[in-house]
Chain A
Amino acid sequence: MAHAVPAATAEPELYGLVAEFETPEALLEAANAAREEGYTKMDAYTPFPVTGLDEALGMSNTRLGWVVLIMGLLGGASAFFMQWFAQVVHYPLNIGGRPLNAWPNYIVITFEVTVLLSAFTAGLFMLARNGLPRPYHPIFNTPNFEAATRDRFFLCIEASDPEFDLGLTARFLEKLGPVRVSEVEA
């Protein structure tokens, strides 16, 4: 969406330039260099989480934690309210001689619903924000990209980046010591 092209264009649109590295250290160095160079629209693809990569890419903290916290509190509050409403307001029953608002008994379900809603929020918000499931992605057009889930590390500078220039960016990436740099079509 960010890099939409007029429908009449016959030339295949460029998604970005991708550099392939052999080690996570090399990728980390390259990402740091790219950030210092002023690139913002870039992403790295690795087989496993590389510590420090999010800072190297200039990614801000995710809001997932706050959303989970809010939904968890909401879940706990609604679970407590549900039990209180059923026992005290809607159908008060004398069960085992307990007081109607026997709040210690509500805690177990309150806790469990808190966990349930937090977990659902964490999973679904993660999927909603990162756009998964996404079976087709331009980055898959990269040569040898299947190694990204095994033993290779990729850095992509996207064509939509304001600093992006096909020649300059390619030369910049070549200097970082990659296995290869490829132009990737959208």
Chain B
Amino acid sequence: MPQILPPNANTFARWTIIGGVIFVILLVISLTAFARISRNRVGVPVAQPVGFQHSLHAGELGIDCRYCHNVVEVSAYSHVPPTEVCMTCHSQIRVGTPQLAAVYESWETGTPIAWNRVHKLADFVYFNHSAHINSGIGCNHCHGRVDQMSAIWKAEPMTMGWCLECHRNPARYVRPREEVFNLAYEYPANQLEIGAQLVEAYNINADALANCSICHR
């Protein structure tokens, strides 16, 4: 029985091993790269039944965030405004334009507009808007420059690692309360100093912020 396999079987065996190792390395690299690129659909605009433009209402017209999202300072859940809020202006303004058809239909039939949600957290995550607003976390820190968005997309990935980035060191991101609704706010050069004072002033218990029960209650 001399040789069962030809000499190039050695080459085949070697390249099978090398190829296997290369395959595993490429798999790991591409999966991490994919996760990084997709980043939980950051920057992907979501289609809506009404082509509502924040860039027009909040940007050009300068309407304050709280005109429509009016419970954000007092409630855990910052709601989407009902049709009535649209109709406070649009019963008089641009009546009959086709872009607003879904709003009038909703008004006449009493059926709410079926907005598509963009920032969806899992139901086992309890997020409280008012807690953040009153602790000096600005709208644009999490939602981006909404006043420049014609359609809404995620500015941040809304993953737990991203949440914890701030909960572990809130002094880096806390701003004065009166600047919370200023979407153009930029953190000053001595943010860490100011932030530390504000954390003290707003009674933020930084040590407990990363505990499980803060969000997963």
Contact = CB atoms under 8 A, between A and B. Distances in A.
Bound together:
yes
Interface of A: 91, 93-94, 133-136, 140-143, 145-146
A140 B9 contact: no
Contacts of A91: 164, 210
B210 to A, nearest CB: 7
B19 to A, nearest CB: 14
Contact of A146 (B1, B12, B164, B211): B1
Contacts of B2: 140-143, 145
B35 interface: no
A136 B1 contact: no
Interchain residue pairs A-B with the least CB separation, the first 4: A135-B9, A135-B5, A136-B7, A146-B1
A136 B5 contact: yes
Interface of B: 1-10, 12-13, 17, 164, 210-212
B211 A136 contact: no
A143 B17 CA distance: 31
A10 B211 CA distance: 77
Given A93-B212, A136-B3, 14 more contacts: A93-B210, A94-B211, A133-B13, A133-B17, A134-B10, A134-B13, A135-B9, A135-B10, A136-B7, A140-B2, A140-B3, A142-B2, A143-B2, A145-B2
Contacts of A145: 1-2
B161 to A, nearest CB: 10
A115 B208 CA distance: 38
A142 B1 CA distance: 9
